[in-house]
Amino acid sequence: YAPATIAPLYERLLDTLGSQPGVQSVGMTDDPVLAQNDNTFSIEVPGYQPQEGERMSFEWEHVTPDYFGTLQLPLIAGRVFSNSDGPTTAKVVIVNESFVRKFFGNPDQAIGRTFSERGTKGKSPLLIVGVVKDAKHFDLHDQPKPIFYSPVFQDAEPNAVAVYIRTRQAPEDAGSTVRKAVGGIDSKLVVDSLQSMDAQIDGTLTSERMLSFLASGFGIVAIFVTAIGLYGVLAYSIAQRTREIGIRMALGATQGSVVKMVLREVLTLTGFSVGVALPLSMALSALVKSQLFGISDRDPGTLLLVTLVIGSVAMLAAWAPARRATQVQPITALHYE
């Protein structure tokens, strides 16, 4: 396509996709989410003096006005882009919270401020007109980084490579609708890749899911081995107390009271062990923190679940030998050596 025809083509594409059944909003960008593209530019911010060796290169994305609404990135100050932000108007940008914290302190102080691309003397500065919430744009594991966004249509030759559509349709139905709509605009237009955001996120987590699967498998094996070990130790320990148990039962103790006594002692020992192990595991959790996504390395729910599993395994391992010991006749137990 000739450069002069690209902007009208994009506008027609947005209008066509936005008018399809079930479509709520459509946004375009030149830097797809989670694509891990290196789309950084060096900037200069008036009044900010970089530290020695400080990196002043940040992600720069070009987007259409409805991009933020489509991806549900909330606006927290200022305004979003409009169709009036064109090549002949002031160069405007929207920044994220991390950008604001680094250079301006709070969102209200950022609105109306300017900065420029490094080494571009004579070019118009970039005017901040809005602030949006942080989002993990480059990688799900990284903390949000400073990003600034410009309107696609302020470029003389816009270059958007990804279209995001928010729709009420199921992904498979929406895919068919999109392909037909794009083909209806120009048969030479090709949809290179089409997937839901959930599928895109899943695709970036393949290695993490494999690691989770392996860790779960090793965890199950560890619990099984622990149960066998506990059973062996407790069975031996309770067998050594057969005489004591026989005396207790000869003096009137019931089977139930003896089993409760054994389980109570095991629970006390387990509680002490967990009390020692939990602080140690929390101290060592930093070693695996980088492999976790969507959960803290000190997640209270996970720690509680692990504690309950260990306690349950210990109780089950102790119950069988304790129950068996109470089946021994008191007279036999009294002669036990």
- Give per-residue pLDDT as tens, 90-148: 899 999 999 999 998 888 889 999 998 876 655 678 999 999 998 877 767 677 888 99
Provide the strand spans (E) within 15-132. Answer: 23-29, 40-44, 57-63, 75-78, 92-96, 114-117, 126-132
Give the pLDDT band of residue 294 (cuts 50, 70, 90). low
Q: Worst-scoring range by mean pLDDT, 42-46, 59-63, 212-216? A: 212-216
- Summarize the confidence of residues 72-76 as an average pLDDT: 91
What pLDDT score does 100 carry?
A: 92
The pLDDT tens digits for 221-278 are 887 887 788 778 877 887 777 777 777 777 787 878 888 888 888 888 888 887 887 7
Give the pLDDT band of residue 2 (cuts 50, 70, 90). low
The pLDDT tens digits for 24-43 are 888 888 877 776 666 778 88
Dihedral pair phi/psi, residue 230, rounded to 5°: -60, -45
Tokens of 333: 């137990």
Number of CB atoms found within 10 A of residue 336's CB: 15
In angstroms, what is the C-alpha Rg of the chain? Answer: 32
pTM: 0.64
The pLDDT tens digits for 161-215 are 788 888 887 877 777 778 888 788 877 777 777 777 777 777 667 777 787 778 7
Give the pLDDT band of residue 289 (cuts 50, 70, 90). low
Question: Of 335, 334, 337, which is closest to residue 248 (Cα–Cα)?
Answer: 334
- Segments making up each domain of the chain, as ranges: 3-204, 206-334
What pLDDT score does 75 carry?
A: 93
What pLDDT score does 189 carry?
A: 75
The alpha helices in the chain, defined as continuous H runs, are 3-18, 67-70, 97-103, 107-110, 171-185, 197-204, 206-240, 242-250, 255-284, 300-326, 330-334
Question: Of 97, 128, 96, which is closest to residue 115 (Cα–Cα)?
Answer: 128
